[in-house]
């Protein structure tokens, strides 16, 4: 079995609850959404990068292992477009893995949920312009989160906010998650201000309000993209 992968590299995780961990990133090609803030637009192309077999990928990862290695990050694009490949790969490599997904494909996630240790589900907002029917997308994301929580996967939600994002929208998302996730005590919400951070100079107070209102419903953290501040991949 093979899949298109745009890059494989070792770096420090710059987002979410595994911030600062040394990971090997496997960036799969292709995405089923079209977010306006996407920082890897080339990976939307399903044929971008190189077609790679499972054994080849495993060898590349082994060559990148370092003493501080924590886990693999399966990212994209949307990695769950390659769920069958990922399942076979994880069965072979036996390494801890983080899936970074938009959560829109719960039935594909179901194929691999027993093989992953960590999950980041990127909750989309209407202003991200990812899809035409945002309500359906949110339902799929919540279904994916419930699937992960029920399986006991260490899971967090990521919500990318823009300076134009309204407080009411963030409050609605936090409330919706709190009421529809079956065991919400095991879930955190990571609010991620969209890069570049210079855009937030006149809007920094918004981030405090986002955190305060979300904190009424969920465990909440505010974390920017640290790898961009460090100028690393």
CA distance readout (Å), 123 to 89, 171, 220: 26, 13, 14
Which of 26-40, 52-66, 137-151, 179-193 has the least mean pLDDT?
Answer: 26-40
How buried is residue 19: exposed, middle or buried, by Cβ count under 10 Å (0-12/13-18/19+)? middle
pLDDT value for 95 = 94
CA–CA gap between residue 4 and residue 7 (Å, rounded): 9
pLDDT value for 179 = 96
pLDDT value for 2 = 95
Is the pLDDT at 139 greater than 90? The verdict is yes
Q: With cut-offs at 50, 70 and 90, classify the pLDDT of residue 127.
A: confident
189: nearest Cα among 149, 146, 155, 153: 155
CB 78 within 8 A of CB 105: yes
| Mean pLDDT of the region 201-216 | 96
Is the pLDDT at 4 greater than 80? The verdict is yes
Q: Could you tell me the two tokens for 232?
A: 């690393």
Is the pLDDT at 130 greater than 80? The verdict is no
Instruction: Please give the share of the chain, as a percent, with pLDDT higher than 70.
Output: 100
2-230 maps to which CATH number?
3.20.20.70
Question: What pLDDT digit, counting tens, does each position of 78-125 carry?
Answer: 999 999 999 999 999 889 999 999 999 999 999 999 999 999 999 999
| Mean pLDDT of the region 166-184 | 96
pLDDT value for 39 = 78
Question: What pLDDT digit, counting tens, does each position of 7-61 carry?
Answer: 999 999 999 999 999 999 999 999 999 888 887 888 888 889 999 999 999 999 9
Q: With cut-offs at 50, 70 and 90, classify the pLDDT of residue 224.
A: very high
- How confident is the prediction for the chain on average, in pLDDT? 95
pLDDT value for 138 = 96
């Amino acid at each position: 079995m093979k899949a298109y992968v745009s890059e494989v590299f070792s770096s420090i995780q710059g987002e979410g609850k595994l911030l600062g961990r040394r990971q090997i990133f496997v960036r799969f090609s292709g995405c089923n959404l079209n977010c306006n803030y996407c920082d890897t637009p080339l990976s939307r192309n399903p044929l971008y990068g190189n077609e790679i077999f499972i054994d080849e990928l495993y060898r590349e990862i082994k060559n990148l292992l370092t003493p501080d290695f924590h886990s693999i990050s399966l990212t994209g694009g949307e990695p769950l477009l390659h769920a069958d490949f990922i399942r076979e790969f994880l069965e072979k490599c036996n390494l801890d893995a983080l899936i970074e997904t938009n959560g829109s494909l719960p039935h594909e996630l179901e194929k691999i949920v027993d093989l992953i240790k960590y999950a980041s589900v990127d909750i989309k907002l209407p202003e991200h312009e990812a899809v035409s029917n945002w309500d359906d997308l949110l339902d799929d994301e919540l279904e994916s989160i419930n699937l992960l929580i029920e399986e006991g996967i260490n899971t967090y939600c990521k919500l990318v906010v823009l300076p134009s994002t309204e407080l009411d929208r963030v409050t609605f998302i936090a409330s919706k998650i709190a009421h529809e996730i079956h065991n919400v005590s095991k879930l955190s919400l990571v609010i991620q201000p969209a890069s570049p951070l210079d855009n937030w100079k006149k809007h920094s107070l918004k981030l405090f309000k986002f955190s305060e209102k979300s904190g009424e419903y969920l465990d909440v953290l505010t974390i920017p993209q640290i790898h961009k501040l460090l100028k690393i991949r």
